Amino acid sequence: MIKTFIDKLLGKKDGAAGTRAAAARRRFGKREEVPASVHGIDPQLVDKRAFEVVRTLQEAGYEAYIVGGAVRDLLLGLKPKDFDVATNATPEEVKGLFRRAFIIGKRFRIVHVVYGRGREHDVIEVSTFRAYLDNAAAEQVKGNEKTSKAQLAGMQHAVDASGRVLRDNVWGPQEEDAARRDFSVNAMYYDPQTQVVVDYHKGIQDANARVLRMIGDAAARYREDPVRIIRAVRFAAKLSPLGFELEPKTARPLLASEHLLQDVPQSRLFDEMLKLLQTGHALATIAQLKKLGLERGIYPLLDVVVERAEVPLVHAALADTDRRVAEGKAVAPSFLLACVLWQDVQTGWQRRLDAGEHAFPALQDAIDAVFEQRIGDVSGRGKLAADMREIWVMQPRFDKRSGNTPFSMVAHIRFRAGFDFLRLRADTGEVREGLVEWWQEFSLTDDARRHDLLAQAREEARQQQRKAQPAARRVPKAPVPQAADEGDEQPAAGHDMEAGEAGLEGAAPKKRRRRRRKPAGGAGAAGEGASGAPEA
C-alpha cells in the first residue's frame, strides 16, 4: 500500500498503463526551453515577415513559432532561405488573420501568407500542429471523448496495416507535432519574441555534434512514410558541407527499406527527385546516393541521372544548377532533364535518319519516344515536355544563320533556355565555341550589326563548302556573261529545319537541279540565290 501511494506521488503507473506512458515519453520526448544565452541565435537573421506572422498569431491568442530547417540554420549561424511557422491555430483561423492568405494542399493543408507582389513577393508557410499517428496512436485518438467529429473524419484510413501514414490532417499538441517530424535538427521551435528555442528531441545537441538523427525507430519511420528515405539523402547531401553525417542507426535501414518506395505515387517520387537535383546540392546528392548504396532503385529517371553524372554535358548541367541556386537564380527542371536525356534524343534521331526518315519528323518521333520511355505520365509533364521539346528542336536551328531564322530565334520565348543549352554543349566540346559567340552577339546587338553578322555567316558557309569539295573539283570559275545557276550558295548542313526538316550536323547538301544555259541577255541575267532573293 505504501509503495502504491509513493508510485502515485511520483506519477508511476502499473502494468500496461505504465508501459504506454513510458512509450509516450520516449516517442514525444521531454520539452526543454533553451534561452538565447545558451543557443546563441542572432535575432538579426530572422526574416521580418516571419516575425510579423508569429507576432500576429500570438497577439490573437495562439501559440506560434518559427519551425524546422529555419531554426536549424539559425543555430548554425546561417541566414535561412525559407521561414516556416507552426501554430495551434487551424488553417481557417490563420487565414482569417491575414489580408493575403491562402489555404493550399490536400494531403497537408497549410496556409501561405503572401507579402509583396510579382517576382519580389515573399511567402511564409504556416502549418497547424499535427497529431503523431501510428496504429496505436490512431486508435487512442479515436477513443478519446474529446476528439471532434472533424478529427474523427480525418482519421479514416489514416494509417494502413504496415504502419504507413496515409492522412495526417489531425490536429494535435506541440509535442506530438515535434514527434511526427523526421530529424531531430528539424524538430525545434523558435519564438522570435522571447528568443526561446523549444526542443523535445535534443536537436540542439545533434546540431552542435553535426549529427543527422531520425526521431524514433528509423525503420518504423521509413515505413510510415517511405519518402523519408529520399529526404534522408537530401538532408545528408545538403548538410555534408557543414560536417553533418547520418547517424548509423538512421543510415542502416535505408537500403533495406528502399522497396517501400514502390508503393509511393510516381508523381510524388518525380517531385522528390526534382528536389534532390534542384536544391543546390545535386552533385553532393549523387555522391550520397552512391555512398549509401541507393544509386539505383529509387526512381528510374534518377537512375539515369546518377548513371550519366560523369557525362560531360550532364555533369556541367548539374554543376550549373548548383551554381545558380547558390546565386539565388531560378532553375527549371526542363533544362536539367533536357541535358540528361539529350543523349537519348540524338541516338533515336540518328537511328531514324539512317532508316531514311525525313529529318524533322524523325526528330519529333525521337523526342516522343524519349518522353514515353524515360518520363511517362507524371504530374506536370505537359508543360515540362513542351519546354524540353522546344530546347531540343532549337539546337539544329542554331546552325541556320541565314534568312529570317536568326531574327525569329532571338524573339522566341525559350531562346535563352535553348541558347544556354547550346553554350553547355560548346563548353563540353559538342559544338564549336564560335557558333555560341555568334549567337551571343546577334542576340544583343542592333539590326545593322546583325546584318553584318549574317554576311559573315554566309562567307563562313561558302568557305566550309569549298573545303568539303573534292580537290579534283576545286576549279576556279571563269566569269561568264550568262546567269549563274540557281543554288550557287548552298545552305549549311541542317539549315532546312524551318522548312519542316532539320538535318544533323555534317549532312549532305541538297542536290542542285541543272538548268540549261540561256543565250546572253535572256531571262535570269540578274542572278538569284537559292532563296529567290538577289545575292549579296
b/e code 389-404 from CB counts within 10 Å (16+ = b): bbbbbbbbbbbbbbee
**3-state class (DSSP) for residue 301:** helix
Handedness of CA 57, 58, 61, 64 (dihedral sign): positive
Nearest to 168 by CA among 127, 133, 214: 133
pTM (2 d.p.): 0.75
Is 446 an annotated catalytic residue? no
**Catalytic choice (47, 168, 182, 399):** 182
In contact, 377 and 407? CB cutoff 8 Å: no
Which of helix, strand or coil describes residue 125?
A: strand
Query: What structural domains and CATH numbers belong to the chain?
Result: 1-30 (no CATH), 333-467 (1.10.3090.10)
What single-letter DSSP state applies at residue 130?
B
Output the CA torsion sign for 426, 429, 435, 438: positive
First to last CA, the chain: 112
Q: Is 84 a catalytic residue?
A: yes
CA distances from 226 to 244, 268, 419 (A): 22, 11, 39
**Beta partners for 199?**
32, 188
Q: How far apart are alpha carbons 240 and 245 in whole angstroms? A: 6
Residue 411 CA to residue 156 CA, distance in Å, equals 54
Give the pLDDT of the chain (536 residues) as one tens digit per residue.
444 444 444 444 444 444 444 555 567 889 999 999 999 999 999 999 999 999 999 999 999 999 999 999 999 999 998 999 999 999 999 999 999 999 998 767 899 999 987 667 889 999 999 988 654 444 444 444 444 444 444 444 455 554 454 555 688 999 999 999 999 999 999 999 999 999 999 999 999 999 999 999 999 999 999 999 999 999 999 999 999 999 999 999 999 999 999 999 998 999 999 999 999 999 999 999 999 999 999 999 999 999 999 999 999 999 999 999 999 898 999 999 999 999 999 999 999 999 999 999 999 999 999 999 988 776 556 888 899 999 999 999 999 999 999 999 999 999 999 999 999 999 999 999 999 999 999 999 999 999 999 999 999 888 888 887 765 454 444 444 343 333 333 333 333 344 333 333 333 344 445 454 444 444 333 333 333 333 33
Choosing from 73, 84, 168, 344, which is the catalytic residue?
84
> How far is Cα 77 from Cα 175, in angstroms, rounded to an integer?
26
Whether 182 is catalytic is yes
